[in-house]
Chains A and B, each alone.
Chain A
Amino acid sequence: MHCQECGKRPATLHFTKIVNGEKTEFHICEACAREKGELIPGTSGGFSIHSLLSGLLDFTPGSHAQGNKAPENLRCEECGLTYSQFSKIGRFGCSSCYKYFNNRLDPLFKRVHGNTVHVGKVPKRVGSHLQIKRKLDDLRKELQYRIHQEEFEEAAALRDQIRELEKNISSE
């Protein structure tokens, strides 16, 4: 098959474009594809992680059934990025986007990372509250373990430590 653009070189790229539900098939050679700036998978021409992501973003399971706000009206009040823009470019406009789009992010993160919740490093100042909460979780786990092992002296010390930390949190 010859390239449908130049009619000379053999067509090496075959792909289907769907725009507004209308399907068009293309059979072109690489040179013409590059010239026309078509997105070619696997080249640096344009097919990027962001275009892949936007494919994932258009798919938000269950959102319609639950009567969520339609994506068209959903926008970040801080930077003005709309959800539909976000789903096209695959990038957030500011950190508040995470808040305004929050309800729709779990399925996306689940697909990209297999997880939805951060468990790594916590910045000392901005995240101090979270650091205490994590420490509390760890202490409570250890407390259970000590009780289970019937090491009551250690358990009592842990209990006091937990109370102290809890007091700090509630006084903040």
Chain B
Amino acid sequence: MANRRFTEQPLSEWMRSGGKESEIVISSRVRIARNLLNRPFPMLATNQQSEDVLNQLESVLADERMQQFGQLSPVLLADLDELDKKVLVEKHLISPNLANESRSGAVFISEDESLSIMVNEEDHLRIQCLYPGLQVQEAWDKATSVDDIFEAHVDYAFDDHRGFLTSCPTNVGTGLRASVMMHLPALVLTQQINRILSAVSQVGLTVRGIYGEGSEATGNLFQISNQITLGQSESEIIENLYSVVMQIIEHEKSARERLLSESRLRMTDRVMRSYGILLYAAIMDSKEAAQRLSDVRLGVDLGLIDALSVQVLNELTVMTQPGFLQKKFQVSMSPGERDMYRAKLIREKLGK
């Protein structure tokens, strides 16, 4: 069954290649929100109406132009148990919102998991593209071409004045949310992060935790995304995000260089201690795991730790999440037990 593959492999195919600036930028993501004309938004739709929307949107997948994106497997949310949903959220293949409101909710996922098309989320249609490293433009190019194919078959709710009409007023206009996930340990260590993040918020961008709205930034991972969707064109939004991200990368790089040149010994001590703890600890809560993994990732990037690939760290970032842990060990766990299994998993993965 197609579902199983998506929930059992921790690492999506798309994450295996590095992409531009991959020592600082983990991934780039673009999603666009669309709705069908003359149909109530999913929040108010009846079961029948939601099902009709799903059928109509699913039929577009038959368009032969869709083939360029590879096989798209349909996954009905109603067919998944809570744990599988959790894993899909942890892999960013569906939003927490789709996992919760699953009335005729569905997602179509491409083989390499870089394209996921959500149906009956907050909006009828959400097209999401994920790429490794800094590739927002590439992600947008793909998302907009998928959008064009849908638009050739279905009538969108669109208004000359307001643009694409969305369920939430924060998405109206372009319906575009572009975001870049960044690993910024040196800016955190040198205490420049707050200054930079507040500057970011003044140019129409926002910073969130790695699982989107309301989630905390752990492990020095920050998700930078556009706040404004109305009154700016898509290319302006993408360019604005790109240029701000490039500037943050420069700051992070120079902070890393300074840390290395001014306190190499302390840095080495810090990353090696974290590495040691990950290798030998018997209990590891998620917050500590994220922090230690961040230290080790920095150590790898700075060349202080070799014999370890960033890919293993990417894998661990996903695998140490609660849903995936339970999936992996096939037991439901109390938070305390999770900490034990998490430590066990990390030891196994790194000990190889």
Do A and B assemble together? Answer: yes
Q: Please judge, given known A-B contacts A93-B43, A94-B41, A130-B160, whether A114 and B204 are in contact too, CB under 8 Å.
A: yes
A-B contact pairs, 9 of them (CB 8 A): A53-B170, A91-B168, A93-B40, A93-B41, A95-B41, A98-B172, A118-B173, A118-B231, A125-B151
Tell which of A43, A95, A108, A120 touches B37, judged by Cβ atoms closer than 8 Å. Answer: A95
CB neighbours of B165 from chain A (8 A): 92, 95, 98
CB neighbours of A94 from chain B (8 A): 39-41, 44
Tell which of A42, A91, A121 touches B167, judged by Cβ atoms closer than 8 Å. Answer: A91
- B223 at the binding interface (Cβ < 8 Å): no
- State the 10 A-B residue pairs at the shortest beta-carbon distance, nearest first: A115-B231, A118-B163, A95-B157, A113-B230, A120-B174, A95-B165, A120-B233, A93-B44, A94-B40, A118-B173
**Complex formed: what's the CA distance from A78 to B97 in Å?**
25
| Size class of the A contact interface (CB-based, 8 Å) | 35 or more
A-B interface pairs (CB < 8 A), number: 135
CB distance from A103 to the nearest CB of B (A): 13
CB neighbours of B160 from chain A (8 A): 118, 127, 129-130, 133
CB-based nearest B residue for A129: B160
- B228 at the binding interface (Cβ < 8 Å): yes
- 1/0 per residue, CB under 8 A from A, across B143-159: the answer is 01001100110011111
Give the contact stretch, choosing among A29-37, A44-52, A60-68, A163-171: A44-52
CB neighbours of B155 from chain A (8 A): 125-126
CB-based nearest A residue for B235: A120
Q: Please determine whether A120 and B163 come into contact, CB atoms closer than 8 angstroms.
A: yes
**Complex formed: what's the CA distance from A125 to B173 in Å?**
17
Q: Please determine whether A123 and B156 come into contact, CB atoms closer than 8 angstroms.
A: yes
CB neighbours of B151 from chain A (8 A): 123-126
Tell which of B41, B147, B156, B228 touches A91, judged by Cβ atoms closer than 8 Å. Answer: B41
CB-based nearest A residue for B167: A91
**Complex formed: what's the CA distance from A95 to B144 in Å?**
21
CB neighbours of B162 from chain A (8 A): 98, 105, 109, 117-118
CB distance from B79 to the nearest CB of A (A): 25
- B215 at the binding interface (Cβ < 8 Å): yes
Q: Please determine whether A44 and B228 come into contact, CB atoms closer than 8 angstroms.
A: no
Q: Please judge, given known A-B contacts A95-B165, A116-B230, whether A123 and B158 are in contact too, CB under 8 Å.
A: yes
Tell which of B152, B169, B227 touches A92, judged by Cβ atoms closer than 8 Å. Answer: B169
Q: Which of B99-142 contact A (CB under 8 A)?
A: 122
- A90 at the binding interface (Cβ < 8 Å): yes
Q: Please determine whether B169 and A90 come into contact, CB atoms closer than 8 angstroms.
A: yes
CB distance from A58 to the nearest CB of B (A): 14
Q: Please determine whether B169 and A119 come into contact, CB atoms closer than 8 angstroms.
A: no
CB distance from B287 to the nearest CB of A (A): 14
Q: Please determine whether A118 and B230 come into contact, CB atoms closer than 8 angstroms.
A: yes
- B51 at the binding interface (Cβ < 8 Å): no
**Complex formed: what's the CA distance from A93 to B169 in Å?**
11
Q: Which of A84-108 contact B (CB under 8 A)?
A: 89-95, 98, 105, 108
Tell which of A49, A91, A120 touches B232, judged by Cβ atoms closer than 8 Å. Answer: A120
CB-based nearest A residue for B153: A125
- A81 at the binding interface (Cβ < 8 Å): yes
CB neighbours of B166 from chain A (8 A): 92
- A112 at the binding interface (Cβ < 8 Å): yes
Q: Please determine whether A126 and B214 come into contact, CB atoms closer than 8 angstroms.
A: no
- 1/0 per residue, CB under 8 A from A, across B39-61: the answer is 11101100000000000000000
Tell which of B144, B169, B173 touches A108, judged by Cβ atoms closer than 8 Å. Answer: B169
Q: Please judge, given known A-B contacts A119-B232, A123-B156, whether A112 and B169 are in contact too, CB under 8 Å.
A: yes
CB-based nearest B residue for A121: B234
CB neighbours of B170 from chain A (8 A): 49, 53, 112
CB neighbours of B38 from chain A (8 A): 95
CB-based nearest B residue for A111: B169
CB neighbours of B228 from chain A (8 A): 112-115
Q: Please determine whether B230 and A109 come into contact, CB atoms closer than 8 angstroms.
A: yes
Q: Please judge, given known A-B contacts A116-B230, A123-B151, A127-B160, whether A90 and B168 are in contact too, CB under 8 Å.
A: yes
Q: Please determine whether B231 and A114 come into contact, CB atoms closer than 8 angstroms.
A: yes
**Complex formed: what's the CA distance from A53 to B172 in Å?**
14
Q: Please determine whether B40 and A79 come into contact, CB atoms closer than 8 angstroms.
A: yes
Q: Please determine whether B41 and A92 come into contact, CB atoms closer than 8 angstroms.
A: yes
Q: Please determine whether B176 and A120 come into contact, CB atoms closer than 8 angstroms.
A: yes
CB-based nearest A residue for B38: A95
Q: Which of B168-195 contact A (CB under 8 A)?
A: 168-170, 172-174, 176
CB neighbours of A133 from chain B (8 A): 160
**Complex formed: what's the CA distance from A113 to B228 in Å?**
5
